[in-house]
Amino acid sequence: MYCMKEVIRYLMGWPGPSGFGSASTAEQVTQHLSLPPNLTALITGGTSGIGFETARVLAKRGVRIILPARDVKRGNEVRERILRQSPAAEIYVLELDLSSLSSILCFCSYFLSLGLPLNILINNAGKFSRKLQLTEDKYELTFATNYLGHFVLTEVLLPKMKETAKETGRQGRIINVSSMIHKWANREEFHLYDMLKSKDYNATRAYAQSKLANILHAKEIAKQLKEKRVEITINAVHPGIVKTGIIRDHKGFVTDCIFFIASRLLKSTSQGAATTCYVALSPKLEGISGKCFEDCNESSCRGDYDRMARVLWEETHALLQRKLRSRIKHGTIT
């Protein structure tokens, strides 16, 4: 009965406790907010799909945007597109390949050299690789991009977020964009080194595992930040079923048929970006951390395994220590 009620609520777009629901758009959930000046948000995957809509709406609301892009030319085209709608927006396009550890470190070094604050980090970029592909670091592409890249990015930028929160007195926010597909991940197959090497590759499994890892990452970092009384929150969001750029990597007759049949369930890009924008900016979520959100309301996520989250963080931390040949502490790489 509960599941049926939730399905009906989703289809009808009925609002939840937040006052918003599945039919709400990114513009609607941010429309009447009174935001403090000089907010800065870094949004990965902001050149297309949900990421672009998130960047567009936040820029419209006066938030300074940091737009990482593998293709800087395309990133600048997106910047110009946003500026046509919001001429006063401040947007920085910086080169970043999330599948490359060296690229992430170079990006962070350059961003930090700009001396800008960082209030909001939105780990939005996602990859769905139909065939097995390895990164330059010899890791499976989907898991390395969706989880490992965002793990490193978050670690390196945390000190800047802590500094910004302390100087401004405003709580920082980190958002990990996950997916309902995280529920498909098999706990028995969830081992970091196997997922990074992926000898027996399955595209859907790799994607599901990476999205579960995003949730576990949020839960563990939330716990660590709370223990240290750091004024930064981190939450995971599920944007809903949206036909975004990820589907281009899995395009075909079967996929097109599924999306045609399921068209009533699909969200627009603006509806898909609504939860991210809500969690990033809503004053109602002050102090809320380690939670999952769907349709702009708190939801239950499968990744409620404290021990599993801790083990994943420890193994990732150890891996990066060896890989980068440097000492990695929580929130800093030296």
Query: Catalytic amino acids?
Result: 201
What order of strands is seen across the sheet that includes strand 40-43?
A: 91-95, 64-69, 40-43, 120-123, 172-177, 232-238, 292-294, 297-299
| Nearest alpha-carbon partner for 173 in 76, 289, 64 | 289
Integer Cα distance of 263 and 197 in angstroms: 35
Q: How many beta carbons lie within 10 A of that of residue 177, not counting itself? A: 28
Q: DSSP 3-state helix, strand, coil percentages of the chain (rounded to 5)?
A: 50, 15, 35
CA dihedral 238, 286, 289, 222 (to 10 degrees): 130
Question: How far, rounded to the nearest angstrom, does the alpha carbon of residue 282 sit from its chain's CA centroid?
Answer: 17
Q: Are 248 and 261 in contact (CB under 8 A)?
A: no
Q: Computed from CA positions of residues 84, 173, 127, 328, in that sequence, does the dihedral angle turn out positive or negative?
A: positive
